[in-house]
Amino acid sequence: MVKGPSLLLAKWFPISQFKKILVFILKGEGIRLFKKGITLFLTLILLLASITPVLADSQKKGNARIVRDNYGVPHIYANNVEDLYFTYGYVMAQDRLFQLETFRRGNNGTIAEVFGEKFLARDQQMRRDGYTDQEVQEMITNMDNFSKKVIRNFADGISLYVEEALKNPDERLSKEFHDYKVTPKEWTEVDVLRLFMSSMGVFMDSEQEIKNAQILAQLEKQFGKETAKEMFDDIFWENDPASPSTLPDEGAVNPVKKDTKKAANQQFPGIEGASETLSEKRDDFVSTSEELGLPLKIGSNAVVIGPEKSATGNALLMGGPQYNFSAPGSVYEVGLHAPGFDIEGSGLIGMPIIMFGTKENYAFTSTYGVGNLVDIFVETLNPENPHQYLYKGKWVDMKKKVETFQYRDSNGELKEETKEFYSTVHGPVTVIDEKNNTAYSKAWSFRGTEAQSWSAYLKSNWAETMKEFHEEAKDMTMSINWYYADKEGNIGHFYTGKYPIRDERVDLRLPTPGTGEYEWKGFIDPKKHPYGINPNTGYIVNWNNRPASNWGNGELSFMWGEDHRVQQFIDLVNGKDKLTIDDIDDINYHASYVNLRTKKFKPMLMEALEKANNPKYQEVYQALEDWNNLNEDNDKDGLFDSPAVSIFEAWWPLVVDNLYQEKLGEAYGPLKGIIDHRYGSSLTLRVLGGSNGPLETQYQWLNEDPDQVMLAALDQALQKLEDEHQSEDISQWLKPARMMVFTNTSLIGLPQYGSEIKFLEANRGSENHYIELTKNGPIGENVNPPGQIGFISKDGTLHKHYDDQIELFANWKYKPVLFTKQDVNKNAVSTTVLKIKK
């Protein structure tokens, strides 16, 4: 219910007070005071006229002021915690209700009811692996009172907007609700916590152990056990000492050392078929999640600079969370202000948690930790009963749950399907292979602790000191890197997660026998997790590399090698004695557009060209030397600026194919993306002799001069480019610049309601924030494309803040972080009062 400004004026400015001012003016205080009084009074009227109060039908008390800045970002001012988070839920729903509805359905397994049968398998997996409403509610009941208060009020705030929107759907429900005939429902605490549990759980999920076992079985079939083991160990090394760490040895407190002793039999019949089944399911899950705009591919980078490396002497912090480039974006920006509490930043949609932001005394950000939190257990089934498994010498019944799903068929009719799911002591069963009397169950180390992690993340926002911030990190059970910088000049890195103490006889790269002999033996004490405070280097950088030396990540070991993308940040930070925010932005720009393989392999190619001393290579050498390794289009002609981009990008895949395709045969297909991973290609570095680390290959991958391999691939690439461009003139070999958009398809493949603005492809955070911690408080800038408000009117009109940050993002421009009340008011465009009735 909206009241006009005159009614609000009557309440805030009673007639009796108006009479007092009028009497004061008429008593003869002079023309100057008369004019001053009238001016002040008129100013007050204009100010109040710009405030639109909203009367909330709620049992809560108090009110909150919502100030929207010139990019639509809400800055909420409340008198207590309840009103603050209630209003936070309300404004998030106001801006992103359809996205919230999609996230909720996507995470509770009801999305097929809206978007059809193609999403049924995804719904089934979410409910197979998820919790019942009762189980989630029990976790909430066991939360501390502060967390319960926040989660309840946040859900109630969303529900209030839903209630109001249903009374006026044509004006308050975004176009998607009308098009897909979706009616939003009120939110509960269960919805809020489940969204966190499911979303974060999906981020942490991994089935790589089964893929690794399939690959090992395939290699053994092709080459025999001995050769297969050599190949496997080269591709999935357990620890690469040359792999860059966020914390140097002298700054890594208590790095965990692993015993590599192994004796368990981890060869399982039928593993190849099980892996193929799971791979198909995983591919479907990923593709349908991406269509829904649900974030799956996360990376993120961070740079934290201490005073000794800062040009101003102040600590500096940059974060670049890498979520999907979707419209609306995956993160939501807000300013939260209550007595004794001020914070500004952004977090994943549907969570009342700031994950990337700043307070008065410190700033913080985070990246994915790539930690080993998931194990696949292979269960031995009873030949007489496929729903019994062998555990500690006894046949044990699997637990069964039955779920009913609704989905829309191709005719739009609502259908229903019931499905049974099973679980063991280890977790949900993903595949039952009756032919081989085996089943595969998945164990998450953090299962059952998600509410604890939710609370830890929330309370980290309320920490006052680095010590308090670190204490909350110890309670976070999912694999995240947390970063901290304060105005006193302290910087810190804290690695979070609940890491099992696994049996020493188990090869962590492969599934674990589930018969009971190889169970987890507890969890590593959070006090022993890698962390660093004020490291001697004077900085902290991370791009999903390992946190500290000797910290492994099991089946994902191939992601942490000597050739790692984080080296771009390390080298560029080391390249300057002192850095400013602008310097960090330049470094981020470079890392976003650089061809990552140029770091290690371009110098090797150029050295081979020099040694060849062949005139035909001189022009190629010069093009490579002139190239800054960046895929840029500075003249905006739709082509990359340097022909070296074409040459290098044609050359590199041929190097990889020529090295491994013939050697690996059938196994090459599933291995190509592992050997040439988006984080790096460390095996190739060792094979070509470019490694400076102690790790050596066991298998003889190369029987010829590495230079000849690189030059042969170059000859192939040059011929290909000459044929393609029908010219020997290298300067004409300019490649079309790859462009990106913030999703150009809708949830179900229809044209996206949103911006079609294209921008140059970049390996960059989908949001960026830069903060300097001065003695007087934080100053900074950020960009959160495509825009703050994901609302589309029923007639298809986009909200003005739907995509108004794309141009900023594309041109590497930013908006100021508005932290103080003065800055917020200076940039205020509108103010509303959410007045909450008793």
Q: Which residues are catalytic?
A: 300
The verdict on whether omega for the bond into residue 328 sits within 30 degrees of 0, i.e. cis, is yes
Strand partners, 315: 773
CA pair distance 544, 368, nearest whole angstrom: 6
Q: Is 757 exposed, middle or buried (0-12, 13-18, 19+ CB in 10 A)?
A: middle
3-state helix, strand, coil in the chain (%, to 5): 40, 20, 35
- Which residues neighbour 101 within 8 Å (Cβ) at sequence distance 6 or greater? 177, 182, 184
Residue of 316, 349, 310, 292 whose CA lies nearest to 154: 349
How far, in whole angstroms, is CA 490 from its chain's centroid? 25
Give the residue numbers of the binding site.
209, 374-375
Query: What are the two backbone dihedrals, phi and then psi, of residue 371, each rounded to the nearest 5 degrees?
Result: -85, 165
Amino acid 351 reads M
DSSP secondary structure letters along 493-515: EEE----B---TTS-TTS-EE-S
Tally: H helices and E strands in the chain: 26, 29
Amino acid 739 reads M
Tokens at residue 559, please?
């992601």
Residue of 85, 64, 188 whose CA lies nearest to 462: 85
Residue of 506, 516, 515 whose CA lies nearest to 213: 506
Q: What's the maximum distance between 2 C-alpha atoms anywhere in the chain?
A: 106
Helix (H, G, I), strand (E, B), or coil: what is residue 169?
Answer: helix
Q: Hunting for tokens 């790790």 — which residue is that?
A: 695
Q: Hunting for tokens 């070296």 — which residue is that?
A: 644
DSSP secondary structure letters along 715-780: HHHHHHHHHHHT-S-GGG-PPBPPEE-S-SB-TTSSBPSS----EE-----SSEEEEEEETTEEEE
CA pair distance 261, 473, nearest whole angstrom: 31
- The answer to whether 124 touches 286, Cβ cutoff 8 Å, is no
Query: What are the two backbone dihedrals, phi and then psi, of residue 169, each rounded to the nearest 5 degrees?
Result: -65, -30
Give the residue numbers of the binding site for Ca(2+).
209, 374-375
Strand partners, 316: 305, 772
